[in-house]
Chain A
Amino acid sequence: MIKQEPSQTASAEKSMSKYLAPLVREIPPSGIRKFFDLVSGSKDIISLGVGEPDFSTPWHVREACVYSLERGNTKYTPNAGLLELREAIAEYLYESFQLLYEPTDEVIVTIGGSEAIDLALRALIVPGDEILIPEPCYVSYSPITSIGGGIPVGIETFAKDNFKLTAESLKAAITPRSKVLILCYPSNPTGGIMTYEDWLPIAKIVEENDLIVISDEIYAELTYDQKHVSFASIPGMRDRTILVSGFSKAFAMTGWRMGYACGHRDLISAMLKIHQYTVMCAPSMGQVAALEALKNGMEEKDRMVESYNQRRRLVVKGFREIGLSCHEPQGAFYAFPSIASTGMTSDEFAQRLLFEAKVAAVPGHVFGKGGEGFLRCSYAYSVSQLTEAIDRIGNFLAKL
């Protein structure tokens, strides 16, 4: 191995940044990344900070992949994904959410839901377009909008509304340059959901203003007191909506990176062009696993959802008992308690909680407008870990 002098490396790094595209250079690093670096240096941490299930991918799903590899299925698949998988996705969406998509040209299998969102934005954005994003929301929407040349426009949602998007706030954010609305319900980080009745006035505004909707429904299977309602299932919205989802959350398959997008064939066809020139196709082994999950994984999925539901009750009750107000999350696996009563910013609270109580959680401000004053706490942890974490947070609050 050839060793480089540190000074050479440093100067090389410094001089290379001028070559970066300004759009990329100007994007700030993720607030989560910064917090991750802080956590990495600490010991004996109980974390409530992850956005992924604590279950392993069900064994039958892993086994299906292993057998497939043994049979030598390691080649490219069609660009849009294995037809059998696309058919299974279409069948699942019809049975679960009464959505009708043609598997041959209205479904595309992607590398996680993230690629699907990126493809959708790249297929739609003309530089200067405004992309409407209800916040607090998943951390990537705004940066990938900017990378695509769009202008992210955050729409604040509030705890008093259970973090639902309201027609009034959507309407107020629309300008002649508004083109796309990105929805994420059930929501990361708030756990908020939208009902059929909630969607109707939103759909009306979408239609009146000729918006295209990217609906990230990755947490659709993780709802508790009521079933998920897909925005695409609202009358008139199917062809205006690119539905994005995947296997990560429902089937505990985060590392497989298996997602999909469905929508009008003109939109999917444009996304497929970008997909085929960039990644060719999603990994074949992951597609085999995803197919097995859809065909035979529902029982296991139900068992995991029941377990999340139990833990949801535990953390919400726990936070309220130690004096943090916390709205009732109806989906995903996050609680979003308010720490406003402490007078600290979410960043300050999260950092002190980490160093003084050894509990890691994500400060709400990293999720955009309306996130300040809150803390994202995942409850994808064991009952004993959650109990210990809440005890520690309670003790921390008592000492303030």
Chain B
Amino acid sequence: MDEFKAKIIDLLKEDARRTPALIATLLGESEAEVAKAIKELEDEHIIAKYATIVNWSKVDGEKVTALIEVQITPERGRGFDAIAERIYLYPEVKSVYLMSGAYDLLVEIEGKTLKEVASFVSNKLSPIDRVLSTKTHFILKKYKQDGVIFEDHQDDHRMLISP
């Protein structure tokens, strides 16, 4: 990818609400060039989605996230892909990664309660053919996600005026 597009991605990762006009000013380029590059990034699915990072600990009501290590037997000819697809199509599943090491897939599940997540694992995930074992880890607290530190309000501690 060229440097121009890489800079646009950096600026949108910092704040997805930045407009093409603002990005154009920051990079010293024309708005049309920036809009064109963003469109290309979207069309190529390099920018897959504009999302919001939420600090759920500040929101009333329970929300449970779990990371589940899944061991599976790969399928002849399709490796891990077919089973990964069966898993990621569930709406409760937020992310699925193929991993090296002691297990094969890392699955992130989000639910309203512990019971709901447990039920997903026992009733939907574990019964899938070729799933050998699961190990569920509940996330107790998120300190940092996608580069955002949740407990750091990043207040400006500088004096208001200095030489």
Q: Which of B19-27, B44-52, B62-70 contacts A (4 or more CB under 8 A)?
A: B19-27
| Known A-B contacts A310-B26, A313-B28, A383-B22; A140 and B163 likewise in contact (beta carbons under 8 Å) | yes
With most chain B CB atoms within 10 A of its CB, the pick from A32, A314, A383 is A383
Number of A interface residues, CB 8 Å?
A: 28
Chain B residues near A52 (CB, 8 Å)? 158, 162
Contact B160 A40 (CB under 8 A): yes
Number of B interface residues, CB 8 Å?
A: 15
Q: Say if the beta carbon of A54 comes within 8 Å of chain B.
A: yes
Q: Say if the beta carbon of B159 comes within 8 Å of chain A.
A: yes
A336 → chain B closest CB, angstroms: 15
Q: Say if the beta carbon of B129 comes within 8 Å of chain A.
A: no
Contact A49 B161 (CB under 8 A): yes
Interface readout for B1-44 with A: 1 if CB under 8 Å, 0 if not? 00000000001000100100010011110000000000000000
- How far is it, in angstroms, between the C-alpha of A45 and the C-alpha of B159 when the chains are bound? 12
Q: Say if the beta carbon of A317 comes within 8 Å of chain B.
A: yes
- How far is it, in angstroms, between the C-alpha of A21 and the C-alpha of B69 when the chains are bound? 74
Contact A313 B27 (CB under 8 A): yes
Contact A51 B162 (CB under 8 A): yes
Taking chain B's interface residues, is the majority helix, strand, or loop, or is none over half, making it mixed?
loop
Contact B162 A50 (CB under 8 A): yes
Q: Say if the beta carbon of A362 comes within 8 Å of chain B.
A: yes
| Known A-B contacts A50-B161, A52-B162; A311 and B156 likewise in contact (beta carbons under 8 Å) | no
Q: Say if the beta carbon of A139 comes within 8 Å of chain B.
A: yes
Question: Which residue in chain A gives the minimum CB-CB distance to B159?
Answer: A50
- How far is it, in angstroms, between the C-alpha of A317 and the C-alpha of B28 when the chains are bound? 10
Which residues 49-108 of A sit at the B interface, judged by CB distance below 8 A?
49-52, 54
Question: Which residue in chain A gives the minimum CB-CB distance to B11?
Answer: A310
A223 → chain B closest CB, angstroms: 15
Which residues 115-163 of B sit at the A interface, judged by CB distance below 8 A?
156, 158-163
Chain B residues near A142 (CB, 8 Å)? none
Question: Which residue in chain A gives the minimum CB-CB distance to B23?
Answer: A310
Question: Which residue in chain B gives the minimum CB-CB distance to A140?
Answer: B163
Contact A383 B26 (CB under 8 A): yes
A318 → chain B closest CB, angstroms: 8
Chain A residues near B163 (CB, 8 Å)? 30, 32, 51, 138-140, 188
Chain B residues near A139 (CB, 8 Å)? 163
Contact A314 B26 (CB under 8 A): yes
- How far is it, in angstroms, between the C-alpha of A97 and the C-alpha of B159 when the chains are bound? 33
Q: Say if the beta carbon of A35 comes within 8 Å of chain B.
A: yes
- How far is it, in angstroms, between the C-alpha of A335 and the C-alpha of B50 when the chains are bound? 33
Chain B residues near A317 (CB, 8 Å)? 25
A27 → chain B closest CB, angstroms: 15
Q: Say if the beta carbon of A214 comes within 8 Å of chain B.
A: no
Q: Say if the beta carbon of A291 comes within 8 Å of chain B.
A: no
B92 → chain A closest CB, angstroms: 35
* Contacts from A to B (Cβ < 8 Å): 30, 32, 35-36, 39-40, 45, 47, 49-52, 54, 138-140, 188, 310-311, 313-314, 317, 360, 362, 381, 383-384, 387
15 A-B pairs with C-beta separation under 8 A: A32-B163, A36-B162, A39-B160, A39-B161, A49-B161, A54-B156, A54-B158, A139-B163, A140-B163, A311-B26, A313-B25, A313-B27, A314-B22, A383-B26, A387-B22
* Contacts from B to A (Cβ < 8 Å): 11, 15, 18, 22, 25-28, 156, 158-163
